[in-house]
Amino acid sequence: MKRAVDSGPPPALSTLLAALLMCGWLLLAVLPAHARDLEEIRLGYQKSSALITLLRAQGSLQKALAAAGYRVQWSEFTSGLPLTEALNVGGIDVTGDMADTVPVFAQAAGARFVYFAQEAPSPDAQAIVVPKVSPIASLAQLEGRRVAVARGSGTHYLLLRALASAGLRPQDIQVEYLQPADARAALASGSIDAWATWEPYISAVESQSGARVLADGRRGLASYQRYYLASSAFAAAHAQALQIIYRALQQAGVWAKAHPRDAARLLAPLWGLDEATVSSALSRRSLQVRAVTRARLAEQQKIADIFHAQGLLEARLDAARAGIWTASH
């Protein structure tokens, strides 16, 4: 019995496959060698990461990294904790900015990372807000009320500090752990009485619903320094890439402060907000990117101690033991 012979694909399909293969070879031929061999940097960020979002929109960071042999893969996260979890398991290499509390939780979880940049304090860029018609006029009146906050966020620390300043304990209120989208909807529906949040969400609820700021981080409650992290392995192997990212962030911060309208115009469609709201949000951020030093990590220890006292960190943490990467000058 004769075996059937595979005669290959039909002539039309053969012609199509040949054409596709030829296109692929031609594309590789015209691309410069460095464009084909760019090393990937996986960069994670939050929607509120103003400077990273500006750099992505302008394309300047991608160009600078490409010239050094890198390409960027972008990933957006809802808040800081999922961002550091991805860093911890090797899902990303570098992060956009995050609240000062988040690296504390990452360090407690055993994540191997380094601080590589810090934004100078922006104490009024996080706040506890209440609806326009709310009868709540002081922090003391939060007693017994439902307050939403993202667990482990910078505003979680602000909430704890604000309660203590009013002589209240966390158990004196009803804490609802909600991510920004859910908390915003809950505030609008009346399901919660107050929301501890950050920019641009503060400006958004102020402009769209007339929400009022009950308290922010000023008067010594919380300085709110935002940090940029990289995995320890990436920092050790790719100092040049981190140097490029650090310098780009510094330049973006200077540019945004000097050109607030242009910055708001770029961010507004990406954040889904009007330009006036974005301008308000940016005005409350320092956007001043600077080097991380041991002295500037002092508040990280205060944050760790407060979360440990509240049982949110199982063991006491030595924040000074975290790694620091310093840009060359």
CA–CA dist 262, 252 (Å, integer): 12
Q: What is the CATH number of the domain that holds 167?
A: 3.40.190.10
CA–CA dist 295, 86 (Å, integer): 28
Number of structural domains in the chain: 2
Average pLDDT of span 4-17: 41
Is residue 320 located within the same domain as residue 245? yes
Residue 327: pLDDT band by 50, 70, 90 thresholds? confident
Residue 158's Cα: distance from chain center in Å?
17
Per-residue pLDDT at 240 exceeds 90: yes
* Positions of E strands within 199-260: 212-216, 226-231
What's the confidence (pLDDT) of residue 37? 76
| Domain boundaries, position 130 | 123-216
pLDDT digits (tens, 9 = 90+) for 250-265: 999 999 999 999 999 9
CA–CA dist 308, 255 (Å, integer): 39
- What whole-number percentage of the chain has pLDDT above 70? 89
What's the confidence (pLDDT) of residue 80? 85
Tell me which DSSP letter residue 98 carries. B
What's the confidence (pLDDT) of residue 22? 42
CA–CA dist 284, 119 (Å, integer): 12
Strand partners, 216: 127
Among 188, 216, 244, give the residue marking a domain's end.
216
Nearest CA to 181 out of 294, 111, 249, 79 is that of: 79
Is residue 165 located within the same domain as residue 295? no
What's the confidence (pLDDT) of residue 47? 83
Among 216, 237, 269, give the residue marking a domain's end.
216
Is 200 in contact with 126 (CB distance < 8 Å)? no
pLDDT digits (tens, 9 = 90+) for 276-293: 999 999 999 999 999 999
CA–CA dist 287, 141 (Å, integer): 33
Alpha carbon distances (Å) from 245 to 123, 229, 303: 25, 11, 27
